[in-house]
Amino acid sequence: MTTLLKAVKGHEIWLLPEAGHGHKGRELRCRLFYGHAMHPDGVAPRDRLRAWAVDPGGEKISLPVTENGDDHHLVRLVPEREGLWALVAENDVGPIVLTKGGLYKPGTRKEYPDAREAACYYQYAKTYLQVGHFCAACGDLFKQADVSFLGNELEIVLSPGDYRAGSEVALQVRYRGGPLPGALLCANWSLSEKRDWPLRVPTDAQGRATIRLTAGGHWLFYVRHTDAGRGVPGEYEKRVVSATLSLYGVR
């Protein structure tokens, strides 16, 4: 199965900064991975990717995605102001069909009218970047925009902070602006040897779920949602969207 088609089975994109914080005017690099449960497996096609950041003032800035080897791409940013930044990557996987013969192929029902099923896939990844030295919880930041929710189609919402191993984090899953109840929120951490998601928690009526950070390391949260009401007649019956959120360096 090609890298593109692995999205059907659960491969996703995620972002991970190369450093815990950066400095104004100096390049920050963030790795863009593709794989499953924090285990890279090839790279997503670069022509289907785009990246952008939201600065501490709430301004959205487009960023380039560059190739960097066999297991990740790079997103580069030179921040011009201190504060908390949000970084987002998107992967427009596109329509994929399950053919009558049982094979997954890129395309729609226009090309495969007798396909068993057809769906359109889209992926989001988000992380936070700290530029400068400060304590956000201490009130050091003034006129800082809220970068916890950016309005993505599917998004995991968590306030940026200095999270510690053993603490609990309260997350919310939002779909098309509103809370998504009954979603399965998954998590893994960088020092885990699990090849799948060891933590899985359903969201409540308000789309909220609490997960304990059981170990130190980088953490990744993941959710996937299938919307059978957003098909395009004659092309595909459903839209499948996934979202990830990473936390760098939980200690």
Domain residue ranges of the chain, discontinuous segments joined by +: 5-160+216-250
Biggest distance spanned by C-alpha atoms of the chain? 60
Structure tokens at 23: 């400095």
- Record: fold of 5-160+216-250: Immunoglobulin-like (2.60.40)
What burial class does residue 201 get, using C-beta atoms within 10 Å of its C-beta: 0-12 exposed, 13-18 middle, 19+ buried?
A: middle
Instruction: Give the chain's end-to-end CA distance (angstroms, integer).
Output: 37
Q: For residue 131, give the 3-state DSSP assignment.
A: strand
- At 168 the pLDDT is 95
* Ranges under pLDDT 70 in the chain: 1, 134-143
137 neighbors 162 (Cβ within 8 angstroms) = yes
- At 141 the pLDDT is 56
- At 189 the pLDDT is 96
- Confidence (pTM): 0.95
- At 92 the pLDDT is 98
